[in-house]
Structure 1
Amino acid sequence: MPKPLLLHRPAGLYVRFRVPTDLRDRVGSRFLVRPLRQAPGEAARLAAALLDMALSNAFRSMRQGGGVVDIDKLLKDAENAFQLTIGGVRLPNGAHLTNVRIDTPEDERQFHALMAAATPTSSSQGAKKAVAVERRKEDLLSALSATHLADLERAGRDKKTVLESRHSLMLLRGIVGDIPTADLTSDHCRQFFDDVAYWPRHATKRPEFANLSVREALAKAKTMAEPLPAAATLNKHHQRLSTFFNWLKKNKHLTENPLHGLVRQDKDDAEEETGRAFTQEELDAIFEPTAYVAWAAKYPHRFWVPILALCSGARVTELSQLYVADVEVINGIPGYHINRRFPGQKLKNKASRRFVPLAQPVLDAGFLRFVEEAKARGQVRLFPQLPNNDGGGFGKQMSKQFSAYLKKRGVTESGLGMHAFRHTLATRLARAKVPLQTIGKITGHKGEQGTLGKFYIDEPSLQERVEALACFDSGGLRLGELNSLFEHKLDIDSQCEN
C-alpha cells in the first residue's frame, strides 16, 4: 500500500504518494500529489487514507493486467466519497442556502447550530421542521451529470471526451448552482458563457486557485487579468453542454434544449490559432548533437518522435501510438500508417487517416533498422515506454518530456512544443511551392476541395508525396550523424552498466 505523506503548502494541505518502481513507466510519474481540501487533523488523515486505499486497488489492478486505469478520476471519486454537499435548503426563518458543503464533523456541528438559531419558537407547521429539503437529489444537475457521464463511458466514448465533458459540466454546476435540470433556461446558458470566458487556464493545477469554488476562482481570475479563452474553446463547451441537454431531453428531464435560444459563433470565425513554426535557430538548438543525444539516450521515443515530426508534420499522438506493424513498404516506398487499427490508437478526424512516406533524412538516420530491431525483439508498439493510463493518448508524456527539453535548450515561448514541427513542415513545403492538397495528404489536413477523409493509401499520389517531402529544407540539420552519435552513446551506457 502506498504510504501517504502530508505536505503543508501555502495553498493548503496536500498528500503525496510514491508510485511503485514497476509502475512508473505506465503512470508516467514517480509521485502523485493531490490537494486534501481539509484542515490539518483527523478529517485530513481520513481523506488521505481513502485516497491511499483507492490507489492501492488501482496499482493492484494494473499489475494484474486490468487494462487502462484513469487514476485522476479514481482519486477524484475517492475524494468525493468523503464529501457531502446539500444542494439547497430553506431555513424556517425564510433564509435560503444553496450548495452547503459539509466536509468535517465541525462543519456538521456548525450547520446544526445555524438551523437551531434560525428556527422560530412558534408552533406553526414551519417550526415543526428544522429544515425543508426543496429538491429531489436525483433531479439535481449533479446527479444527472453523473448519470450522463456514466452513459458516455458505458457507450465506449473516448476517455478524453468523458474527461472534457466532466470539466464543462463541473463549470456549469459551479456557475448556475446545483439546480434541478428541469429549471435550466437559456438565461442560465447565457450566464454560463458570460462567466466561463474568465475561467483561468489549468486552474486545477495552479496553487493560487486551490481550495476555491468555481465562483471564487472566477472572481479571482477576473482580478488577475487572465487571458480570455479562444473562441474554439467556448464552442467546445457549447458542444458538450448541447450533448448533455439533448440527453436530458431524450430521457424526459427537459422539454427543450436551452442552448437552442443562443447563437453559436460561426465555425470559420472560431478557428483556433495553434502556434507557429520553429525558427532555424530553434531547430539548431533542439537538434544540437551533444545535447539532443544526451537527452534522447534514456528512451528511443525521445530520439525518433521529434525527428519523425520534423520530417512528416505528424501529430505527437499519431507518432507516439505507432505499432511496429504500422511501418510498411508500399510499391517500394517505405512509410507508416496513421490509422486506428490497433488498441489505444485514435484519430483526430477522418482526414487524419493516411500513409506517410518516410523522408530521406529519416531513412538516413536509420529508422528502418530501428524498426527491424524492435520487430526482432517481439515488440508490439514501436515506443512501449509511452503510457496511456488515463486514455488521453500516448502522446501526453512525449509532449511533457519534449517541452521540458525545449526549456533547457532556451526555447521558452509559452505554448511552443511538438505541434510546432507540424507548422514547420507545412510552412517550408508551401515555400517550396508544393500544392496545398499534397501537403494535406502528408499532414492529415483537410484539402482545399473538402475533406480528404476517406482513407486509402492513394497509391497514384505516393510518388508525388515522396517528391514533396524531398522539397523539405531542414536548414542543414544532419540527422544521419545524430543516429551514429546516438548508437555510440547507447553502446557506452551499456558497457558502463555491465
Structure 2
Amino acid sequence: MSFRLPAYLHRNRYGMLYFRLTVPPDLRPIVGQAEIYRSLGSSSVRQAADQAQSLRITLQRLFEDLRRGGGHAMSGHAYTALRALLDQRKITAHQTEKREELEQQISAMKSEQFRLSAEHQRTAVAVEAAQAAVVAQMVKMDDASAPAAGRSVSQETAGVPFSQLFDAFCRYKEGSGEWRDPESDRLYRYGPIVKEFIACLGDVTNVSLDAAAVRQFKQAVIGRDDFSQAKKTKYFEHIGAILRWARIEQYVRDDLAGILRMPAKKATGGYEPFSEDDLRRLFESDDYRDGTFAKASQFWIPLIGLYTGARITEIAQLHLSDIREQDGVWLIDINDDDLKKHLKSESATRTVPIHPVLIGIGLLRYHAEVKAEGYDRLFPDLTRTNKAKDSFGADPSEFFTGYRRRLGVTSISETFDAGKNRWMGRGTKVFHSLRDTANSKLRHAGVTQERRERLVGHASRDVNNRHYRPADINQMFPLATLLEDIRKLDYGLTHASYAGTSRHRQERVKGAQRQARIDAEAMP
C-alpha cells in the first residue's frame, strides 16, 4: 500500500522533508506570517515525523496561549521565543541535512565497494570450479590418481562475510519495495537476530557457511531457556529468509534455510467466545461502574473490541483522524497509513461504523477531549517500543489478561499454581475472544458472510472477492447497511458512561513523554 505523508510534512523535489503548518487566520496579524515552513534536514519519514510532531505540538500550544491572551499582539518575549525556536530548528535541520548527505556518500561508496568485492568473489568461485572440472577430466583421461596435496587449485577463498550478505539482503528488500519501513525492518526486526547469529558463529563467510554451521546455530537457539517457542521460530524464519535469498543470488549453493524449518503447528482448537455470564463480569464490573481504571485505554479498548470485533493492535494504534464521520455515519477507519501502524493483512484495512452504544457512553466526547489536548493518537497513554514486531497492543493485552483472571473469567486450560504464584496453561478466553464473540453474534443475527468478513477484516473465502483490492471491498456495501449490521451486536449489557479523570490526563502526558524518549533513543 502507498504511504500518505501527514499533512504537516512536505517532501521537496530533492526528497528532503519540510515541516509545514498553517497559522490560524485569526492569529496571522499577531504572528506576522500565514504559514510556518522549515526544513527538517532529513529524507527519513521516521526521523522527520518525530521532529515535526514535537514542533507541531509546541506551536499549537503557543497558538492556544495567544488566543487565551485575548488576541493581543505578541509580546516581545513571546516573539523572541518563537523566533529562537524556529531558528534553532533551522540550524539543527541544516546540520542534520549535511550529516545525512555525507552519510549517503559514504554509504554509496561502501555499496559500490561491496558490489565489486562480491562480483570478484563470484568470479573467483566460478574460475575455481572450472579449473577443478578441468583437473578432474584430465585425471579421468589419464586414468591416474592424483594426490589431494598435489592439487594446485585452492579449495578455500576469502568469501563474503555474513554481515555484508545481510547488508546486501537489506538493500535488495528496500529496492524491491518488499519492506514498507526499511529502516525499522533492518534495525529492529532483523538486526538483533543477525547479531545473535554472528555472536554464535562469528562473521562467517559464504564459503565457510555450511550445514554444520547452520545446525550449530539451530542447536544454540533451541537450547536457550530464556527464549519462548515463538521467539525461536522467529529467529529461524529471519535467518532462513537471508539464507534463501543468498542461495538465489548464488552466494551459497545448498538449501541451508531448510535446516531451520520448524514442524507445522498442531491445531490448538482456537479461541473460545465469551459466555453471557463472562460478558457481564467483564463489562458490568465495579471497575466500569465506579470508573476506577487507571488509564482511559483500559476502559475503552475492550468495549471497542466487543462492539467492532477489531483486533487489539488495530484499536490500540488508532489515530484521532481515524475516527470520522462519512455520509452521516461515524466510522472507525482501520488502516496502516502511518509507519508505526501494522495490520495483519491487506484485508484488515477497512472502515467500521461506530456502534450507538459506544457513542452513547461517550466515545466521541473522549475523542474531542484528547484532540483538545493536542495529541495525535486516540490512546496516547500507550507506548510502542522499537523491538521487533512490537506494537501499541502489548500493554493493553497484558492488562486485559490480568483483569479477566481477577474477575474469574478463565478457560479450563488455565490453572493458578499457588506454589509458583503464577498462572499455568494456555488461555483460550483472551482478548481475541471478543472478536470471536462479535463474529458469532453477527452470524446468528443473519448477517451474510461477505459483510461479516468486511466488518471484522477477514480475507474473503469467495474466489471472486479475492481479486478485489481492499479499497474496492470497502465500497461493496452501503454504510447504512453496515451500521444496521453493527447494531445487531446487542449483548443486553448495562454500560456505565465514561468519566475522564485527572489521572487519565496524567497518564496521557506520561505516555506521550515515554514515547518521545523511545523515539529519540531510536534515532541514529
> Whole-Å Cα distance in 2 between the matches of residues 340 and 366 of structure 1?
26
TM-aligned CA deviation for residue 403 of structure 1: 2.0
Task: Find 1:455's aligned residue among 460, 471, 487.
Answer: 471
Task: Find 2:300's aligned residue among 299, 304, 316.
Answer: 304
SS of 2:330 mapped into structure 1: strand
More moved, 143-152 vs 248-257: 143-152
Q: How many residues align?
A: 328
Task: Find 1:313's aligned residue among 309, 313, 320.
Answer: 309
TM-aligned CA deviation for residue 135 of structure 1: 10
More moved, 331-340 vs 156-165: 156-165
Partner residue in 2 for 1:382: 378
Q: TM-score, structure 2 length as denominator? A: 0.51
Task: Find 2:344's aligned residue among 319, 337, 348.
Answer: 348
> Whole-Å Cα distance in 1 between the matches of residues 504 and 314 of structure 2?
30
Partner residue in 2 for 1:467: 484
CA contact (8 A) 2:244 2:256 kept: no
TM-aligned CA deviation for residue 326 of structure 1: 1.0
Pairing of 1:148-227 with structure 2 (within 5 A):
156-157=181-182, 159=184, 163=188, 165=190, 180-184=205-209, 214=221, 216-217=223-224
CA contact (8 A) 2:382 2:395 kept: yes
Cα RMSD (Å) of the superposition? 4.4
Task: Find 2:271's aligned residue among 250, 272, 275.
Answer: 275
Counterpart code for 1:339: N
Counterpart code for 2:243: F
> Whole-Å Cα distance in 2 between the matches of residues 290 and 405 of structure 1?
12
Asked if 1:421 is matched to 2:419, the reply is no
TM-aligned CA deviation for residue 478 of structure 1: 1.6
TM-aligned CA deviation for residue 372 of structure 1: 2.4
Task: State which structure, 1 or 2, has the greater radius of gyration over its C-alpha atoms.
Answer: 2
> Whole-Å Cα distance in 2 between the matches of residues 238 and 165 of structure 1?
11
> Whole-Å Cα distance in 1 between the matches of residues 277 and 379 of structure 2?
29
Asked if 1:437 is matched to 2:450, the reply is yes
Provide the identity percentage.
Answer: 23
SS of 1:404 mapped into structure 2: helix
Any gaps of 5 or more consecutive residues in structure 1?
1-63, 66-133, 196-212
SS of 2:306 mapped into structure 1: helix
Counterpart code for 1:468: D
> Whole-Å Cα distance in 2 between the matches of residues 334 and 157 of structure 1?
35
**Structure 1 residues 473 and 143 mapped into 2: Cα distance closer, same or farther (>3 Å)?**
same
Asked if 1:402 is matched to 2:400, the reply is yes
Partner residue in 2 for 1:104: none
Partner residue in 2 for 1:373: 369
Pairing of 1:249-288 with structure 2 (within 5 A):
249=247, 253-259=251-257, 274-288=270-284
TM-aligned CA deviation for residue 237 of structure 1: 6.2
**Structure 1 residues 297 and 347 mapped into 2: Cα distance closer, same or farther (>3 Å)?**
same
Cα deviation 1:166-224 (Å, max 9, x = unaligned): 6766787799898654355568778988x6xxxxxxxxxxxxxxxxx646447x99xxx
Cα deviation 1:377-434 (Å, max 9, x = unaligned): 3332111111112262211222122222223222344344322211111122222232
**Structure 1 residues 301 and 262 mapped into 2: Cα distance closer, same or farther (>3 Å)?**
closer
**Structure 1 residues 438 and 249 mapped into 2: Cα distance closer, same or farther (>3 Å)?**
same
TM-aligned CA deviation for residue 358 of structure 1: 0.8
CA contact (8 A) 1:152 1:162 kept: no
CA contact (8 A) 2:318 2:377 kept: yes
**Structure 1 residues 461 and 238 mapped into 2: Cα distance closer, same or farther (>3 Å)?**
farther
CA contact (8 A) 2:294 2:504 kept: no
CA contact (8 A) 2:307 2:486 kept: yes
